[in-house]
Every structure is written in structure tokens, then in C-alpha cells.
Amino acid sequence: MGGITAKSPVIENAVLCVVNTCAVTQKAEQKDRRIIRLLLEKCPFATVLVTGCYAELSAKKIEEIDSRISSLRGLLKSRVEKIADFLREYLSKRAGVFDAVEFSRLLRDGICAFPIKKEGVSENPFSLNTESFLSHSRPSIKIQDGCNNSCSYCAIHLARGHSVSLDAKSVIERVQTFEKTGHAEVVITSVNIAQYRGAYNDEFVNITQLLKLLLLNTEKINIRLSSIYPEVVDADFCEVIKDKRIRPHFHISVQSGSDDVLFAMKRHYKAADVLSACKQLKKAKEHVFLACDIITGFNGETEEDFEKTLELCKNCGFSWVHVFPFSERQGTEASLMKGKVPQSVRDERALRLTKWATSRKIAYIQSCIGKEFDAILEKRKDGFHAVTENFLHCKISDGILNSIETEQYVSSDFVRVRITECLKENAGKGGELDCIAEIL
């Protein structure tokens, strides 16, 4: 389950590599290409199958990299489940002899080329699910895919197609399975959770109603939402999330604090809606960790617009901000807009906002020192880590667990921890340990 790096040895017996790509920014596509080329180098006799958003938007460009590459459109990603049988049949006909270039061509002419059932809609978007999470302490379930919005800067609605939702009964059954197999928490994922409309008893339910059903039909498993939109947060939603089993961590898609910029982005809310949502969330959940996404340097963004964004983040009291300098996406309305902001200005504003966000995250962690939280344990090479209910990533204190005690703990165990120290040097790096905690 380890990753491939430039220092990894050559794997001569690999015959197939599958890459699920992202295309949310130019930087994401650059990472995609680097990984693809790295796999071609480290697995010299393998076919590389590329799928996901980048493959949906730039299939020909990807296949031009090497004759061993096949692109499977992102909307057709579910066909990955057919690849194993296709490979097995190929090897049986050729007495186990594998030709990467030939197999790539067969994929391009076969599985990758079959017509899509309905253009603009992901084909079987929820078929790739599993009950086994070998390298994760917390399972996830995708309940919604695609997006019906046409935000001027975003290519995701082009890559993912129209919004589709997993029916509520299937969601409930999958979460119940995770609970029965001993998982303490499940992460609910989506592209745009505000557009969730799951069929249930001849009706359709939204995300608030789905959460109610999940709480009614499970006993103890905790539920975390990967992201939300401001329009989701209303009195009914906040009443539901008061339940202890809904994790006090919400990541909100914001993008800007300027109404002029939000209008140019074709977002469906204003800055006041974001502020209102944050106030309601803070009232509903104690020690809530609020985070958001912000784009700096969008077309036409002035210094005054940016200052409004910074002011909104302060007024909302975000504990962290994921900041992205604006990145033009080919095929979007924004790529043709006038008023381009110089890249240097985009980056400078991103640095300023990230500096503020880092100070806020440190302050939030320090406010948690001495307090107790539920957490999910993760066993790592350097000892035990834990992810708290409010999404702090902790290293378990050295000496808290001796060699005898560690035998009773495994990854995904549900524990109670106390925060003891803030790791200030890590706070702004993202994906790093935030603090130190002790198990109670």
C-alpha cells in the first residue's frame, strides 16, 4: 500500500497501474503527469490506465505521453471493475505473456471506447465501493457526484457531469455495515452536498433528512461530513447536528468574501450567507472546527475585494483556511474573462491569508489544551497518532503507552484523549500533526 517515489526501486513484474486523477487546478494536473511518468519509469513493462477528472478533460493529451497509456474518461470510471477480468482473459489467451503496448491498445479500443449510457452523467457513479479500508482508520462513503452549478472558474462540473445521488436506503445499509464491522466513524463525501437528493420510499430526501435517517437507523457510529455549502446550513440542519454523533468539524466551500467576486464566480450565495452559516454552526456545536476554501486573485479581484475576504474569514472565526491562488481551467467561462490578476499578486494574497490562517489554527489548538475529545486511533511507524472529533491530528505522547499497553490498541480504535501541546511549527503545513495528546 506504499506510494511510488523517485527513490522507489523498479518493479519489473507489474503489468497494470491505475491512476485516479484530479483536475481542480493546473498544479493538480502537473502532479497527475508527474505520477504518470513516474509509473512509466518504475514499472517499465506495465500498462498505465489513467482515469478521473483529468482523463475526462484531456484524454488525448494524456495518451500522447506514451504508447503504454490508456485513458478511461472520468464519467466512465466505474468500468475499472471490469479491468481485472479483461486482464485475466488477455493473459490466458497469451499463455501469461504480457505486452503493455498491445494491452493498452486493447483497452483503448474496448472498455475505454464503449459508448456512454447517457452523456453528461457519470456512469454507475456509486458502484466502486468497498467494505474494506486497509490503509484508512476511517471508512468513507460517496453519496453524491457531479454538480448542476456552472461556476465560472470551475471545471469540475465539466469533468463530473450532472448531479447524481445514491439512494438513502443504500447509504443507510452501507453505514450499518461499517458499524457492524466495528468502525467508530464514517466520512460522508460528495462533490456538492447541497445537491444531494436521495430516493427514499417514493420520495427524495436532502442531506439534513439523510442525517436524521442515519442517526435513527444506527446506534453508535459517528458521522463526519467532508464538506458543506453555506446554503445547507439552516435551523433544521443545525438541530440535527446537535447530536453528539455528528462530528464538530465542518469544511465550507466559500471561495471569496466579496459579493462582487462571488457574483463573477457565479456562486449562489453572498458573504452574509457565509457569516450566518458560521454563526449557526458555532451555536449548534461546542468546540466546532470551521474551515473553508478561498481562491485569491480571481479575475477582477481588487485589493478591496481581498480585504473583504480577509475580513469575512476573521468575522466567521475560521480555524483554518485552504487557500488557492486562482488557476485558469481550460473550457471555463473564467478562462476567457478580462481583468486577469497578475500571478505574483494571486500568490502574495494567498501567502497573506495563509499566514493569518496559520495563526488562527494555532490559537484554536491552544484553546483545546487540557480539554478532552473523542478520537480515532491510527498506528504508524513512529507510534500512535489520532484524529479527534474536531479534526485535530495528534501524536500520542511518548511514554503514555508502554510496550504492554500498545498490544491492546489497533488502528481505527475509538479512544478518549486530552490535548497537551500545540505543535506550532506544523500548524500551517497541512496534513501534518497539529498537536500532542494523551490517551485517557
Instruction: Give the whole-angstrom CA distance, residue 328 versus residue 27.
Output: 11
Tens of pLDDT, residue by residue over 321-353, are 999 999 999 899 999 999 999 999 999 999 999
Looking at residue 405, its pLDDT comes to 54
Q: Which residues of the chain have pLDDT under 70?
A: 1, 134-135, 398-411, 430-431
Per DSSP, what are the bridge partners of residue 384?
Answer: 379
Residue with cell 523517485: 6
Strand, helix or coil for residue 391: coil
Which of 135, 228, 138, 238 shows the shortest CA–CA distance to 190? 228
Which of 391, 411, 408 shows the shortest CA–CA distance to 135? 411
Which of 51, 102, 109, 101 shows the shortest CA–CA distance to 81? 51
Which of 350, 332, 348, 365 shows the shortest CA–CA distance to 296? 350
The pTM of the full predicted model, rounded to 2 decimals, is 0.91
DSSP state of 342: P
- CB burial of residue 19 (10 Å; 0-12, 13-18, 19+): buried
Instruction: Give the whole-angstrom CA distance, residue 204 versus residue 21.
Output: 31
Q: What is the DSSP string of 262-273?
A: HHHHT-SS-HHH
Q: Which helix (H) or strand (E) holds 205?
A: strand 203-205
Looking at residue 403, its pLDDT comes to 43
Looking at residue 379, its pLDDT comes to 78
Q: Are 238 and 284 in contact (CB under 8 A)?
A: yes
Q: What are phi and psi of 380, to 5 degrees?
A: -120, 175
CB atoms within 10 A of CB 236: 13
> Which amino acid does the sequence have at 293?
D
Tens of pLDDT, residue by residue over 97-141, are 999 999 999 999 999 999 998 899 999 999 988 777 766 778 999
